[in-house]
A = this chain, B = another copy of it.
């Protein structure tokens, strides 16, 4: 694919370092790049959409074959606005949607809560090959340099293929490495089974009213599973997990037919 159209978003907001790196990498591919990212950070927004309040769109910058907007909605709203504004009245559609690079891991069960992954899922819902990219380092100044070649490898493979079902999208995580040489090769693997255990931090405000901060820690149900993303990230591999758009558990249909009469 010589001149692909690539749609980009993220959930950390348009000013995040991660989306800048992703825009640079996508512009190297030589097609058209359209980026629409949230006005402010929208981490943890999952697949949320905004229909109860008006939304605002503003152009940030543009160049030949490149446009960058900020939008007041969620990451999924950004995908919807991108498709509506640039493609609805054309016969074109994006050849690829990429989301990220997220500042923070979206491995294991985090993919359920993630706005970065939500945006990629929305791409897949619309039949667009889609990839979520995340780095296991939540700092605003995280170093994305070691991962540029892996981004190119995965993106170009996704653009070249026509065998992946359209209801499948990729959840890519990069391990934080102290030295670029520590980064190991890309591994295709599965989502780790685990759960976030909540611990609300209760405090009292100056008016003597309680409030809570959502906190938690990750409980890995299978820390020794060598084919799981958490394990491979700890070994400093880049991980690629194919995720499905959520769908019916066909095996459970028979159980339920006996259960509910």
Contacts and interface: CB of A to CB of B under 8 A. Distances in A.
Contact of A154 (B47, B73, B260): B260
A135 interface: no
Interface residues of A, number: 83
**Number of this chain's copies in the complex:** 2
B191 A247 contact: yes
A244 B240 contact: no
A50 B188 CA distance: 31
A113 B47 contact: yes
Contacts of A215: 51
A245 interface: yes
B242 A244 contact: no
Contacts of A246: 111-112, 243-244, 246
Contacts of A80: 198, 200, 214, 216
B113 A48 contact: yes
A92 interface: no
B157 A248 contact: no
Interface of A is mostly: mixed
A139 B100 CA distance: 38
* Residue of A164, A190, A248 most packed against chain B (CB within 10 A): A248
B126 A195 contact: yes
Given A48-B44, A200-B81, A256-B164, A213 B54 contact: yes
Interface string A233-261: 00000001111111111111101110111
A164 to B, nearest CB: 6
The 7 A-B residue pairs whose C-beta atoms are closest, nearest first, are: A242-B252, A46-B47, A190-B248, A54-B211, A46-B46, A244-B249, A80-B198
Given A56-B210, A85-B200, A157-B261, 11 more contacts: A47-B112, A48-B48, A54-B211, A55-B200, A56-B209, A112-B246, A163-B259, A165-B251, A165-B252, A190-B253, A242-B255
Interface of A: 41, 43-52, 54-57, 73, 76-77, 80-81, 83-85, 88, 109, 111-113, 115, 118, 121, 125-127, 153-154, 157-158, 160-161, 163-165, 168, 170, 186, 188-191, 195, 198-200, 203, 209-216, 240-253, 255-257, 259-261
